């Protein structure tokens, strides 16, 4: 198994946001008014996310141009990144003489209760992943280790990881509970464009 980020020598290990970074003030950005008081700060603005996603798409084109890939999107938290990454790859393919044939498949994962990750991992739609055998697979997920362990148990073969927040590919962030850009807290905050740190008030407000 190879991590996509380190396949090429000299490849950037991503943007590292240090543990003591306080984040951007919410006053600098627009966000839905119904989340007023529910957020502490903006960790990654939407524009930075989109720029980094385009760079990831270019890396994929450089490494795998003209080779078919399978994009395995882990719902629900990965859907926005998956859609944006696929769009960037399509845009690059349409404007160059190098193309990547792609298919996109979806599985659904549930492993959190409020802000705590649980050992009870539920995977829906992953009963038979044999169609991935021998393919270059890009996994768009935030809970990567558990997914890869499951995928390997299905004898898929070569898995190239295109991880976003918790990896050296896109961003490495502090160990804080983040929401937005399709990441949720009990199904809330998916409509938030930026990646933000949820406040204690927000956790209590939407706790189940």
Residue 106 is predicted with a pLDDT of 83
Is 90 inside a domain boundary?
yes
The mean per-residue pLDDT over the stretch 25-44 comes to: 97
Number of structural domains the chain divides into: 1
pLDDT, one tens digit per residue, over 122-154 is: 666 655 566 566 555 665 554 566 666 666 665
Count CB-CB contacts under 10 A for residue 71: 22
Q: Give me the domain span that covers residue 57.
A: 15-206
Is 5 inside a domain boundary?
no
User: Does the pLDDT at position 157 exceed 60?
Assistant: no
pLDDT, one tens digit per residue, over 161-200 is: 444 443 346 788 888 999 999 999 999 999 999 999 999 9
**CA nearest 181: which of 172, 191, 168?**
191
Locate the DSSP E strands across the chain.
Answer: 2-3, 15-16, 39-44, 69-75, 102-113, 116-124, 136-140, 159-161, 171-172, 178-179, 195-198
Residue 134 is predicted with a pLDDT of 58
User: Does the pLDDT at position 5 exceed 70?
Assistant: no
CATH number assigned to the domain comprising residue 64: 3.40.50.2020
Is 196 inside a domain boundary?
yes
**CA nearest 78: which of 53, 47, 45, 115?**
53
Is 7 inside a domain boundary?
no
């Amino acid at each position: 198994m190879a991590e996509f980020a380190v396949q090429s020598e000299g490849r950037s290990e991503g943007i590292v946001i240090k543990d003591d970074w306080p984040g951007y003030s919410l006053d600098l950005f627009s966000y839905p008014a119904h989340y007023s008081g529910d957020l502490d700060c903006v960790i990654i603005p939407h524009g930075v996310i989109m720029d980094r996603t385009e760079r990831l798409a270019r890396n994929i084109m450089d490494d795998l141009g003209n080779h078919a890939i399978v994009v395995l999107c882990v719902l629900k938290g990965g859907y926005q990144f998956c859609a944006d990454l696929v769009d960037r790859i399509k845009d690059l393919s349409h404007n160059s003489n190098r193309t990547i044939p792609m298919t996109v498949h979806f599985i659904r994962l549930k492993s959190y209760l409020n802000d705590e990750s649980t050992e009870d991992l539920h995977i829906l739609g992953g009963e038979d992943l044999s169609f991935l055998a021998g393919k270059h697979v890009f996994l768009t997920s935030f809970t990567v280790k558990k997914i890869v362990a499951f995928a390997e148990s299905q004898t898929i073969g070569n898995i190239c990881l295109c991880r976003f927040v918790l990896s050296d590919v896109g961003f490495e962030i502090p160990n804080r509970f983040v929401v937005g850009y399709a990441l949720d807290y009990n199904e809330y905050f998916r409509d938030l464009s930026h990646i933000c740190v949820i406040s204690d008030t927000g956790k209590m407000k939407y706790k189940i």
